[in-house]
């Protein structure tokens, strides 16, 4: 399952790199949120690297001798804030910074070398454009990948890489009320090694689900609070809809089996940063437009490239407007949810095919180069 999961992740990166970029942004925001939430309980000693590690499902807790469940960031923060575990014992929970970095498959030097390589490529393309040399479709697509992956790399700079072995811990004793609240903070049970958990699906690799969408106020256990947060939330939702079983059934079905594919973090969705986030999400398709006037074998192929790039920009922005992406029928919006990613994938396939088709009729100027070292003489 690990190799197949990595292969599907690679396919996702190639087909829709914006998903990976958005995933890195969400994980970075959620890691910062965990650091902020636990600052008082840890005296500020829980760092981003710890938060990333927990968000990578690096902690599990035993439910029996042979089964375990994922310990989600909200759950660990809740344990810290309510004094059920101490940060002083974090090394015994596998959260030693040295141990985490030792498990990681990459260090800062490797990351810096990769950034320098792509920066050099971008500088060469900028130099060509400044001297009116054409940017080939292949170069435009490479630039798009470089930009998106560079942003992703920056968000994941301190995130450990390819850690596959989680630390399994024993939970502290809890009352029934505490246990109910603790379990209600779990995001899902797909990754649980438990008899009650569903069998892992290959579709997991395509999911983009926030690791932590809980509000801050649920992370403290009040003495009189013995209710299950998830049941309270669903009762409030049911009470807010109009009477009638036909209206209530879809909501109840959604709660029982939400089938969430993507979900925005509440700290990002339609905040003051939302326009910038939309620009970032549309950047991959937009960068392809630098080859708007490039030479293609036929005028039809040129306009096919242009229209595909524009469609990829529009559909990516449309997809980002939905806080939660599901496959359940929800009227006309379901058609938009389904058609937008389908059109995006079609446009990506067309542009990929055009990249290689254009190689059969490349102008001679495409192979001309301008030595970037010539610029140094202007600074001497």
Give the chain's radius of gyration (CA, Å): 24
State whether 98 and 123 are in the same domain: no
Residue 113's pLDDT is: 84
State whether 225 and 315 are in the same domain: no
| 371 domain-assigned | no
| 352 domain-assigned | yes
Coil vs helix vs strand at 378: helix
State whether 118 and 242 are in the same domain: no
34 Cβ partners below 8 Å, 6+ apart?
A: 46, 51, 54, 55, 73, 76, 77, 212
Count up the domains in the chain and report the number: 2
| 257 domain-assigned | yes
State whether 81 and 181 are in the same domain: yes
State whether 24 and 173 are in the same domain: yes
| 200 domain-assigned | no
pLDDT in tens, the chain (380 residues): 567 777 877 888 888 888 888 888 888 988 999 999 999 999 999 999 999 999 988 999 998 888 899 999 999 999 999 999 999 999 999 999 888 888 877 667 777 888 888 888 888 888 888 878 888 888 899 999 999 988 998 899 889 887 878 889 999 999 999 999 999 888 877 778 766 655 555 555 555 555 565 555 556 655 444 444 444 343 334 334 344 444 444 443 444 455 666 667 677 778 777 887 888 888 999 999 988 888 888 899 999 999 999 999 999 898 888 877 776 777 777 788 788 888 998 999 999 999 988 888 787 877 777 666 555 544 44
Query: Which domain range does residue 299 map to?
Result: 108-157+269-362
| 173 domain-assigned | yes
For 173, phi and psi rounded to 5 degrees?
A: -60, 140
State whether 25 and 90 are in the same domain: yes
| 373 domain-assigned | no
Residue 121 to residue 17: CA distance in whole angstroms: 19
State whether 243 and 171 are in the same domain: yes
Residue 129's pLDDT is: 80
State whether 115 and 257 are in the same domain: no
State whether 248 and 186 are in the same domain: yes
State whether 277 and 219 are in the same domain: no
| 5 domain-assigned | no
Q: DSSP letter at 250?
A: H
| 306 domain-assigned | yes
Residue 268's pLDDT is: 75
Coil vs helix vs strand at 293: coil
Residue 310's pLDDT is: 95
317 Cβ partners below 8 Å, 6+ apart?
A: 278, 281, 282
State whether 232 and 347 are in the same domain: no
State whether 138 and 256 are in the same domain: no
Q: Which two tokens stand for residue 356?
A: 């290689």
> Parallel, antiparallel, or unpaired for β 167-169 and 59-62?
parallel
Coil vs helix vs strand at 262: strand
Q: Which two tokens stand for residue 47?
A: 């760092």
Measured CA to CA in angstroms, residue 287 lies from 134, 147, 281 at distances of 14, 9, 11
Residue 25's pLDDT is: 86
């Amino acid at each position: 399952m690990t190799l197949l999961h990595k292969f599907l992740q690679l396919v996702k990166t190639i087909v829709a790199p914006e998903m990976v970029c958005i995933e890195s942004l969400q994980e970075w925001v959620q890691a910062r949120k965990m650091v902020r939430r636990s600052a008082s309980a840890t005296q500020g000693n829980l760092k981003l690297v710890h938060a990333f590690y927990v968000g990578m499902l690096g902690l599990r807790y035993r439910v029996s001798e042979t089964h375990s469940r994922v310990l989600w960031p909200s759950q660990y923060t809740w344990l810290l804030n309510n004094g059920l575990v101490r940060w002083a014992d974090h090394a015994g929970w596998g959260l030693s910074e040295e141990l985490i970095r030792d498990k990681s498959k990459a260090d800062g030097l490797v990351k810096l070398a990769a950034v320098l390589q792509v920066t050099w490529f971008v500088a060469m393309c900028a130099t060509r454009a400044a001297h009116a040399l054409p940017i080939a479709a292949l170069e435009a697509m490479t630039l798009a990948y470089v930009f998106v992956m560079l942003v992703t790399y920056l968000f994941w700079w301190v995130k450990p890489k390819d850690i596959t072995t989680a630390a399994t811990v024993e939970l502290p004793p809890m009352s029934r009320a505490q246990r109910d609240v603790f379990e209600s903070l779990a995001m899902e049970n797909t990754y649980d090694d438990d008899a009650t958990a569903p069998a892992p699906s290959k579709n997991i690799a395509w999911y983009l689900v926030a690791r932590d969408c809980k509000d801050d106020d649920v992370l403290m256990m009040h003495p009189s609070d013995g209710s299950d947060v998830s049941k309270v939330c669903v009762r409030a939702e049911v009470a807010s809809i109009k009477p009638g079983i036909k209206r209530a059934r879809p909501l109840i079905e959604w709660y029982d089996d939400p089938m969430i594919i993507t979900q925005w973090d509440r700290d990002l969705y339609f905040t003051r940063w939302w326009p910038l986030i939309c620009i970032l999400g549309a950047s991959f398709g937009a960068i392809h437009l630098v080859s708007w006037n490039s030479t293609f074998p036929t005028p039809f192929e040129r306009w096919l490239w242009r229209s595909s790039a524009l469609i990829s920009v529009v559909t990516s922005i449309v997809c980002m407007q939905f806080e939660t992406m599901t496959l359940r029928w929800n009227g006309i919006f379901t058609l938009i949810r389904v058609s937008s990613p389908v059109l995006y994938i079609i446009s990506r396939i067309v542009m990929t095919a055009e990249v290689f088709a254009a190689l059969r009729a490349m102008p001679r100027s495409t192979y001309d180069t301008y030595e970037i070292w010539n610029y140094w003489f202007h600074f001497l």
